[in-house]
Amino acid sequence: MFANKFKTLFAAMSLVYFLISLFIHLLDSHVPIPHFILKMIRYGKLVNDAKERSAISWKNLEVPKSYFKYIYSVSAWVYVPIILYQVILVYFLEKNASQWFTALLDICCGSDRIAMVSTTHTVIAVFLMTLQIWRRFYDTHFVSVFSKKASMFCLQFIIGIFYYFIALVILLSEAPKFAVTRGEDKFNWSHVTITDAVAVLVFFWAWYRQHTTTVILANLRKNKKGAVVTENYKLPEGDLFKYLSSPHCTTEILMYLCLWVILGYQHSWWCVCTLVLSNQLDSIISTHKWYKKKFKNFPKERKALIPFVI
């Protein structure tokens, strides 16, 4: 595992996120949590309402939450084209991957990598990730309404800038022809199983639902004509918000789990999933608590993670 630096990095980050989140949730009601610790894993409304308990101001180390636009701009128009070019070059033009990309894989993911997934499943996973990144680009640029008061710690922004590239590299690091491959492996629709088909359908359902929840959140700050009239936080209603406090986070988790099903449980995608889980679960739980505390009319039947359950 340690030979794969990207895999180790994501696994370590998952552990750090989990431990910090656990520390906050267990102690927040008993002792003051240092502001910088909150800022390490949270942003926006989850930090804005917290009182600064340190003599040190962290404002100079923050960027607007709207900078998510830059994260998805870089991901959609730099990282995705690089990955798509390599996939098309190797699987459809039947050539070798670019030397610099192969060298990157060897340095960051180890030179003894073995293909853990078929060409078909690799192409499907890359396609789905591409759609997700492009849709998030669209949402952040043309749908979301960011509050000028909302900010995030610069470390989170830096992680966000590189996150998708590392995730996509991990995806290809154990793919045929990008790693040691046993036998000939070409794209073939017959390799798609019923399980794969179900995973793809669930992914598309979650993909679309995440967009609809983003639209609902944005409309809370607009009038009927579509003009932004406020930046205040309101209680979202309708669609999946009938059942969950943060359906956009739940659908994010669901999409990554679907990709894991497609790629197979032996693939290193598990470390990407654990990072997403540790990050999104904290956001889900924290947001659920925040809504319950902020709004007296919060629906009692609305859950945090799983509808009707928890």
Query: Is the per-residue pLDDT at 276 higher than 90?
Result: yes
Q: What is the 3-state secondary structure (H, E, C) of the chain?
A: CCCCHHHHHHHHHHHHHHHHHHHHHHHCCCCCCCHHHHHHHCCCHHHHCCCCCCCCCCHHHEEEHHHHHHHHHHHHHHHHHHHHHHHHHHHHCCCCCCHHHHHHHHHHHCCCCECCCCHHHHHHHHHHHHHHHHHHHHHHHHCCCCCCCCEEEHHHHHHHHHHHHHHHHHHHHCCECCEECCCCCCCCHHHCCHHHHHHHHHHHHHHHHHHHHHHHHHHCCECCCCCECCCCCCCCCCHHHHCECCHHHHHHHHHHHHHHHHHCCCCCHHHHHHHHHHHHHHHHHHHHHHHHHHCCCCCCCCECCCCCCC
pLDDT grade, residue 22 (50/70/90)?
confident
Q: What is the chain's mean pLDDT, rounded? A: 90
* Mean pLDDT for the stretch of residues 275-295: 92
pLDDT grade, residue 45 (50/70/90)?
confident
The predicted structure's pLDDT at residue 27: 75
- In sequence order, which residues have a C-beta less than 8 Å from that of residue 226 and are 6 or more positions away? none
The predicted structure's pLDDT at residue 60: 75
Q: Are 256 and 246 in contact (CB under 8 A)?
A: no
Query: Is the per-residue pLDDT at 54 higher than 60?
Result: no
The predicted structure's pLDDT at residue 185: 81
Give the residue extent of every domain in the chain. 5-189+266-294
The residue among 30 and 73 whose pLDDT is bigger is 73
Per-residue pLDDT tens digits for 23-42: 887 877 766 667 667 777 77
The predicted structure's pLDDT at residue 142: 96
Per-residue pLDDT tens digits for 108-155: 999 999 999 999 999 999 999 999 999 999 999 999 999 888 888 898
* Mean pLDDT for the stretch of residues 52-59: 54
Partners of 224 in beta bridges: none
The residue among 1 and 100 whose pLDDT is bigger is 100
Reduced to 3 states, what is the DSSP secondary structure of residue 57?
Answer: coil
- Burial of residue 26 (number of CB atoms within 10 Å: 0-12, 13-18, 19+): exposed
The residue among 181 and 204 whose pLDDT is bigger is 204
Q: Cα separations (Å) of 308 from 6, 244, 302?
A: 37, 9, 8
The predicted structure's pLDDT at residue 55: 44
* Mean pLDDT for the stretch of residues 255-282: 96
The predicted structure's pLDDT at residue 48: 60
Partners of 244 in beta bridges: 303
Of all residues in the chain, what percent carry a pLDDT higher than 70? 92
The predicted structure's pLDDT at residue 43: 74
pLDDT grade, residue 1 (50/70/90)?
low
The predicted structure's pLDDT at residue 57: 57
Structure tokens at 19: 């431990």
Per-residue pLDDT tens digits for 186-216: 889 999 999 999 999 999 999 999 999 999 9
Q: Are 177 and 108 in contact (CB under 8 A)?
A: no
Q: Determine the Cα–Cα distance for residues 291 and 284; give it in Å rounded to an integer.
A: 11
The predicted structure's pLDDT at residue 79: 98
Query: Is the per-residue pLDDT at 49 higher than 70?
Result: no
